[in-house]
Amino acid sequence: MSTSRTRGTVRGLPEWDRCAVMGVVNVTPDSFSDGGRWFDTTVAVKHGLHLMSEGADLVDVGGESTRPGASRVDEAEELRRVIPVVKGLASEGVTVSVDTMRARVAEQAVAAGAVLVNDVSGGLADPDMIPAVAAAEVPFVVMHWRGFSESMNSRAVYGDVVAEVIDELRQRMEAVIAGGVAPERVVIDPGLGFAKDAAHDLKLVAHLTELHALGRPLLVAASRKRFLGHVLTGPGAAAPPPARERDAATAAVSALAAQAGAWAVRVHEVRATADAVRVARAVEGAA
Q: List residues near ligand PMM by CB under 6 A.
A: 24, 26, 31-33, 62, 66, 99, 118, 120, 141, 143, 189, 191-192, 219, 221, 223, 266
By C-beta, is 187 or 274 nearer to ligand PMM? 187
Instruction: Tell me the residue nearest to ligand PMM as measured from the CB.
Output: 221
Q: Is residue 242 classed as helix, strand or coil in its secondary structure?
A: coil
Q: How far apart are CA 178 and CA 67, in angstroms?
A: 30
State the minimum distance, in angstroms, from the CB of residue 69 to ligand PMM.
13
Q: State in angstroms the smallest separation of the CB of 49 from ligand PMM.
A: 18
Catalytic residue among 7, 87, 172, 225: 225
CB-CB contact of 65 with 99 (8 Å) = no
Is 172 a catalytic site residue? no
Mode of pairing for the β-strands spanning 140-143 and 186-189: parallel
- Of 106 and 192, which CB lies nearer to ligand PMM in the complex structure? 192
Q: Toward ligand PMM, which CB reaches closer, 7 or 266?
A: 266
Those residues whose C-beta lies under 8 Å from the C-beta of residue 101, and which sit 6 or more positions away, are: 64, 119, 120, 121, 125, 126, 129
**Nearest distance from residue 236's CB to ligand PMM, in Å?**
28
98/284 with CB nearer ligand PMM = 98
Query: Which one of the listed residues 266, 271, 278, 281 is annotated catalytic?
Result: 266
Is 225 annotated as catalytic?
yes
CA distance 29 to 40: 9
- CB nearer to ligand PMM: give 10 or 219: 219
Rounded least distance, CB 135 to ligand PMM, Å = 21
Q: In the complex, what is the shortest distance from the CB of residue 171 to ligand PMM, in angstroms, rounded to a whole number?
A: 17
Residues 85 and 46: beta-carbon distance below 8 Å: no
Q: Where are the beta strands (DSSP E) in 175-249?
A: 186-189, 219-220
Residue 202 CA neighbour count, 13 Å, CB half: 11
Q: Which of 49, 61, 18 is nearest to 275 (CA)?
A: 18
Residues with a catalytic annotation lie at 225, 266
